[in-house]
A = this chain, B = another copy of it.
Amino acid sequence: MVGKTIKVTVWNEFRHEKTDEAVKKLYPKGIHAAIADHLNAQDGIEAGTAALDEPEHGLPEKVLKATDVVIWWGHMAHHEVSDEVVARVREHVLSGMGLICLHSAHFSKILRTMMGTNCSLKWREVNEKERLWNIEPGHPITEGIDEYFELPHVEMYGERFDIPTPDKVVFISWFQGGEVFRSGCCWERGHGRIFYFRPGHETLPIFEDENVLRVITNAVRWAAPRVRMSTADAPNVKALDPIPKTK
Contact = CB atoms under 8 A, between A and B. Distances in A.
Contacts of A169: 165, 169
A62 interface: no
B239 A128 contact: yes
Contact of A165 (B114, B168, B233): B168
| Contact-residue bracket for chain A | 35 or more
A160 B135 contact: yes
A159 interface: yes
Nearest to A229: B137
Interface stretch (A7-15, A69-77, A182-190): A182-190
A133 B121 contact: no
Contacts of A237: 122-124, 158, 179
Interface in A141-190: 143, 147, 152-153, 156, 158-162, 164-165, 167-169, 172-180, 182, 187-190
Contact of A178 (B96, B161, B174, B246): B174
Q: Interface residues of A: mostly helix, strand, loop or mixed?
A: loop
Contact of A226 (B117, B138, B227, B234): B138
A147 B235 CA distance: 13
Interface of A: 2, 90, 94, 96, 107, 113-118, 120-124, 126-129, 131, 133-140, 143, 147, 152-153, 156, 158-162, 164-165, 167-169, 172-180, 182, 187-192, 225-227, 229, 231-241, 243-244, 246
Given A137-B229, A177-B239, 20 more contacts: A2-B2, A94-B162, A107-B234, A120-B231, A120-B232, A123-B237, A128-B239, A128-B243, A133-B179, A137-B227, A138-B190, A138-B191, A138-B226, A158-B237, A162-B190, A165-B167, A165-B188, A167-B167, A172-B182, A176-B239
Q: Which 9 A-B pairs have the closest CB atoms?
A: A177-B239, A178-B240, A138-B191, A178-B241, A162-B231, A114-B116, A120-B234, A116-B116, A118-B231
